[in-house]
Amino acid sequence: MSWFRFFRRSRADEELREEMDAYLAEETAENIARGMTPGEARRRAKIKLGNPSSVRETLWRQNTVSLVDTVGRDLKYAARTLRRSPGFSLIAIAVMALCIGATTSLFTVVRSVLLRPLPFRDPGRLVMLYEHFRDARSNGEGFNYNAVAPADYYDWRAQTHGFEDMAAGRGAGFSLTGEHGELPESVNASGGTWNFFSVLGVQPVFGRTFVESEDRPDGSAVLLTWNLFERRFAGDASIVGRQIHLDGKPYTVVGVLPQGFTYPDAKVQLWVPYQSGLPPELLNHHDYHFSLVVARLRPDVSLASALSQVSAVQYRLHLENLNAPVAEDVAPRTINDDLARNVKKPLLLLMCAVGCMLLIGCLNVANLLVARGAARQKEVAIRGALGAQRLTLIRAQLMESLLICLAGGGSGVLLSLAATKWMTSAWKELPSAAGIQVDGVVLGFACVLVLLTALLAGLLPAISSTGKAVYASLQASSRTASGSLSRATLRKTLLTVEIAVTVVLLIGAGLLLRSFARLRGTDVGCVTDNVLTLFLGLPAQKYGTPEKANAFDETLLEKLRAMPGVRAVALGYVLPGEGNGGDDVFNIREHPPLKPGAPLPDALIRSADPGYFSALQIPLLSGRFFTGDDRADRGRKAIVSNRLARQYFPGEDPLGKTIHVPAHNDADYEIVGVVADTLWQVGKPTEPTMYFPILEGSLNYGQALAVRTDSDPLAMSVPVQKQIAALDPELSVSDVQTMQQAIGDSLGNARFSATLVFAFAVLSLVLASVGLYGVLSYLMTQRTTELGVRMALGAQRDQVLRLMLFDGLRPAIVGLALGSAASAGITQLIVSMLYDTEPLDPAVFVAVNVTLLMVAILACMIPAWRASRLDPMKALRAE
Amino acid sequence: MPRGSQSDGEMLKGTLDMMILRTLVMGDAHGHTIAKVIERTSEDVLEVEQGSLYPALHRLEDRGWVSSHWGTSENNRKAKFYRLTAAGRKQLVLETSRWRQMARAIGLVMGEEATADGGAQ
């Protein structure tokens, strides 16, 4: 026996046939020569040859690998069975395709985002370091990781030895132009210390990374990411050494980063040295938190001891700067967790949800298979009686679920390719540093999944339908085999589990949806309808002085306000609902000095033009708005939010008080107005906020423009951009969208998890109701005779209906109760993902229970009604 | 077991292979000739059943002791010819000597003179 012969046994058989034909011919010829008649000669020759089929069978068996052959035969048989009932097969395959597809694409994302090491050298030894404040407010929202101040980073690096090296990075943004006035492009950028890439262990493709002498405030080196290099510079390596212009300033391209390097996200297009473009005095600040620090552990030092050194330095810094927001401790986080911080929970939740759906899918296919097992009971019994071993019978039946799962898995993987693509493009919060795609490991996962689901879905029905009880069906007197009763119980149990899992999924989805609806419905505190927002970066080169910037701002506002269709225009720094934007500490001149170490008053910083509040319809509570006169040289004025007023001026009138903001021009500001609160992000608590006049010209990181229009704001986007271009054609405009879009984007995680879990839950509900319907129909056919007898003896139709209905509803109700009880525990796990929604929200629980009960009644009604319409005569003759 | 092997002329297991190899020493032959030669040489005591001849031929080919090729028979018919390979020749020598020992041993037990006629039971 050999594999070679196994695969060409048909040809061997053909040859053998010819060989035997030749034998027959020879023998016949010989017999004729002996003097027999041709007919007799042939007959004798055939007798001599014996049974040719038997010879062929012997040889065939001799050439056969028996296990492969039997499995192959089982497979062929299963395929034929499936083909005979295409409806069942298609439903089962579609169910498995959906379940396996969804699971595979979620696994793809989870693996890329949470599990796969980043494309850095020895990424397991990289750790992100953050400042960690001890006070209750910082820890209240799980907000334990604070960006690092530059001076802290430099002290950590200089004074500790536990880490091999430490590097810092920060965000930046530029308007990119070429040497010859090409189209400006607004690009996201990052600043990295000169050792940043050596700490990560990333080598440039062309050129080099930064050197220490370039990492200075006037440093003008730039590294291109592969994306920008390919896109804007056509992959021409001669760009290295040439100059590009960032915000009008020339920078020399020193290198190109490799293709896979999309850290911290794919939006970052280029890197400049960390210090480049920063005011030199900023580097000495311990309270200006804007950097990410990544450190590489030394192989011989544990994280705990390396960390304790840094913490000790940080605590000393805290004591030295008691009047500034300098954290007490240092907190570490792995680089993968750091990137996935916002999506880890939703991803794990989705993974659980999809796992539930997969389980339901398996149970459903198992349920369908049990029903089919009933139809094949006689066949199984006969095969068993003829000597087939139980294992052989189980194997034969498993083939069917294996085929279903293989077909489902194959189409599921194709489905997951599309689903993964959609997810990565639609879910903006997903970090893409490692690249998200289906690869070998994912395919391996899918294969394992297929085998597992095949086992899960097939084993139970196969075992149950091959037990001893099946032989009872061979007994002539047995009308309804006893085996079918136990099988009905099995199906009911499967169904109960299926419904219980569905309830858990539905309740989870309901809670998330309710929470999302609450988030959507949140009042940000300003008008959001018909508002176009966009972002302007004024290059410091051109608009470096307040006069220049003010001139531009005032002309822009004037021109925009004069446009037809524009109701109002607001210009400021970070609009409500669009992010944190940074905060500063302050102290109140009129209040006694704080005790050293006490938490410092702290507020978000915003700037606003005189028409800002009325344009965004943020109500004034007391005092006045800014006027065109509120400029740096005419006494500094500030407006505070209601929250700030209540928190830091309890029982006082904040108007006329003076706040001193060290980080903001180190100046005193007189409070001239109190406005209503706005949210900096939907779903987050309001923070105290202070507004400074934009005409003061100090918050020059960039300007957010909001244009309130008469009708569709997006229709105004081109005219507005044309106005801007008319003022300064080199100015780059970015993030053009409506305010509702901008706010909606910030809810991406909530929206994603709510909609996906809901989709999974609905699918599960459909599956469960199909299962319910199937079980009851099956029960009805099983009990046809019994029902016939009952009716012949006088049972009324409505009694039969009730009987069948309750029989079907029992597993549903038990499942509901179990599922609700389980949900009560399980929903505690998603508390942190819920906004303004209780995990035991009665409305959701009631709604889910009612929905499921309705669906269950509907699914049971049809077979129950059919049972009640039975003609007793026909029913009794049925067998 | 194939039914064809339950006849009077049933051969001791393993001897058929040896006899086929022996027949092929005289030159290439197809199935019919092989059977014929064995029958004639044994003075029609041994009857070669096709049910065992062809599986045996395949087995021998599988082990590399014979090779096969299609050719034309003496009567101008298409037939599959078998040829003894070098390995087959070695095997034949081995089996012949083993057979001689065995036949002699059986002869001794049966109280006969050592002869090599242990073909039939």
Name the burial class of residue A702, with classes exposed (0-12), middle (13-18) and buried (19+) by CB atoms within 10 angstroms of its CB.
Answer: middle
Within a domain: residue A286? yes
Mean pLDDT along residues B53-64: 86
Residue B16: which domain range?
A: 3-109
For residues A156 and A296, state if they share a domain: yes
Look at residue A680 in the predicted model and tell me its pLDDT.
86
- State pLDDT tens for residues B71-101: 887 778 888 899 999 999 999 999 999 889 9
Of residues A271 and B52, more confidently modeled: A271
- Which residues in chain B have their CB less than 8 angstroms from residue A22's CB? 30-32, 73, 77-80
- The answer to whether position A80 is within a domain reads no
pLDDT tens digits for A41-85? 888 888 877 777 887 887 777 777 667 777 888 888 888 888 888
A574 torsion bin: left (phi>0), alpha (psi -120 to 50), beta (else): left
How far apart, in Å, do the first and last CA atoms of chain A sit? 49
Do residue B2 and residue A29 have CB atoms under 8 angstroms apart? no
Q: What share of chain B is helix, strand, coil (3-state, %, to 5)?
A: 50, 15, 35
For residues A16 and A342, give the distance between their C-alpha atoms in angstroms, rounded to a whole number: 70
Identify the three-state secondary structure at position A341.
coil
Are the CB atoms for A205 and A258 separated by under 8 Å? Answer: yes
Cβ contacts of residue A36 below 8 Å, gap of 6+?
Answer: A44
Dig out the tokens for A802 from the structure.
């009730």
At position B46, the amino acid (one-letter code) is L
pLDDT value, residue A1:
45
The residue among A278, A295, A326 that closes a domain is A326
Mark which of A31, A64, A97 sits at the end of a domain.
A64
Q: How far is A41 from chain B (nearest CA, A)?
A: 15
Q: How many structural domains is chain B composed of?
A: 1
Helix H or strand E encompassing A329? strand A329-334
Give pLDDT, residue A474: 66
**Rounded distance between C-alpha atoms, residue A672 and residue A690, angstroms:** 11
Find chain B residues with C-beta within 8 A of A51's C-beta.
3-4, 51
- Domain-embedded: residue B115: no
Q: For residue A811, which amino acid is it? A: P
Question: CB A22 to CB B59 under 8 A?
Answer: no
Q: Do B51 and A55 touch (CB under 8 A)?
A: yes
Q: In this predicted structure, what is the pLDDT of residue A363?
A: 86
Are both A725 and A582 inside the same structural domain? yes
Q: What was the pLDDT predicted at A700?
A: 57
**A86-110 and A390-426 helices, crossing angle to 10°:** 50
How is A472-510 classified by DSSP, letter by letter? GGGSTT-SS-HHHHHHHHHHHHHHHHHHHHHHHHHHHHH
Dihedrals phi, psi of A795, to nearest 5 degrees:
-65, 135
User: Cβ contact (<8 Å) for A20 and B75?
Assistant: no
Task: Say if CB B70 and CB B78 are below 8 A apart.
Answer: yes
Residues A677, A778: one domain?
A: no
pLDDT of residue B8: 43
> Closest residue of B to A27, CA-based?
B32
What number of other Cβ atoms are within 10 A of residue A255's Cβ? 22
Whether A798 maps to a domain, the answer reads yes
Within this chain, do residues A559 and A514 fall inside the same structural domain, yes or no?
A: no
Kindly determine whether residue B55 and residue A62, on different chains, have CB atoms separated by under 8 Å: yes
Q: Which residues make Cβ contacts (< 8 Å) with residue A358, sequence separation at least 6?
A: A99, A100, A102, A103, A449, A453
CATH of the domain at B66: 1.10.10.10
DSSP B33-59: HHHHHHHHHTTT-S---HHHHHHHHHH
Give domain status of residue A119, yes or no. Answer: no
Helix, strand, coil share of chain A (percent; to 5): 55, 15, 30
Question: Does residue B117 lie within any of the structural domains?
Answer: no
**pLDDT, position A434:** 55
In a domain, A676, yes or no: yes
Residue B44 within any structural domain of the chain: yes
B51 lies within 8 A of chain A by CB: yes
Q: Which among A266, A298, A326 is the end of a domain?
A: A326
What backbone phi and psi angles, to 5 degrees, belong to A394? -60, -45
The answer as to whether B67 is a domain residue is yes
Q: How many whole angstroms from its chain centre is CA A766?
A: 23
**pLDDT class of B3 with cuts at 50, 70, 90:** very low
Q: Tell if the CB–CB gap between B51 and A58 is shorter than 8 Å.
A: yes
How many Cβ atoms from other residues are within 10 Å of residue B44's Cβ? Answer: 10
Domain count, chain A: 4
- Chain B hits for A19, CB-CB cut-off 8 Å, are 30-31, 54, 79-80
Residue A125 inside a domain? The answer is: no
Q: Are A734 and A186 in contact (CB under 8 A)?
A: yes
A12, A23, A29 member nearest B50 (Cβ): A23
A387 Rama class: left (phi>0) / alpha (psi -120 to 50) / beta: left
Same domain, A374 and A470: yes
Does B69 reach chain A within 8 Å, measured CB to CB?
Answer: no
Query: How far apart are alpha carbons A181 and A435 in whole angstroms?
Result: 34
Spatial distance between the Cα atoms of A569 and A296, rounded to a whole number of angstroms: 48
Q: Do B54 and A25 touch (CB under 8 A)?
A: no
* A590 and A622 belong to one structural domain: yes
B interface test, pick of A27, A28, A55, A62 with most B CB neighbours within 10 Å: A55
CA–CA separation, A690 and A644 (whole Å): 8
Pure H helices in A34-121: 38-49, 52-62, 66-84, 86-110
> Is residue A337, in this structure, part of any structural domain at all?
no
Q: Show the domain range for A835.
A: 344-520+748-877
State the Cα–Cα distance between residues A53 and A183, nearest whole angstrom: 83
Q: Which residues of B touch A15 (CB under 8 A)?
A: 80
Whether B78 contacts chain A with CB within 8 A? yes
The secondary structure of B2-26 as a DSSP string is -GGG-STTPPPTTHHHHHHHHHHHT
User: Is residue A681 included in any domain, yes or no?
Assistant: yes
Q: Which residues contact A119 (CB under 8 A, 6 or more apart)?
A: A202, A258, A260, A261, A433, A434
Are both A311 and A353 inside the same structural domain? no
Residues of B in contact with A63 (CB under 8 A): 58
| Residue B114 distance to chain A (closest CA, Å) | 34
What residues pair up with A675 in beta bridges, in sequence order? A620, A641
pLDDT band at residue B121 using 50, 70 and 90 as cut-offs: very low
Q: Which helix (H) or strand (E) holds A222?
A: strand A221-224
Report DSSP letters for A521-557, one per residue. Answer: H---SS--TTEEEEEE---TTTS-SHHHHHHHHHHHH
- The confidence score (pLDDT) of residue A470 equals 66
Residues of A in contact with B51 (CB under 8 A): 50-51, 54-55, 58
Mark the ranges of chain A whose per-residue pLDDT is less than 50: 1, 477, 481-483
Residues A258 and A357 in one domain: no
CA atoms within 13 A of residue A669's CA, in its CB half-sphere: 28
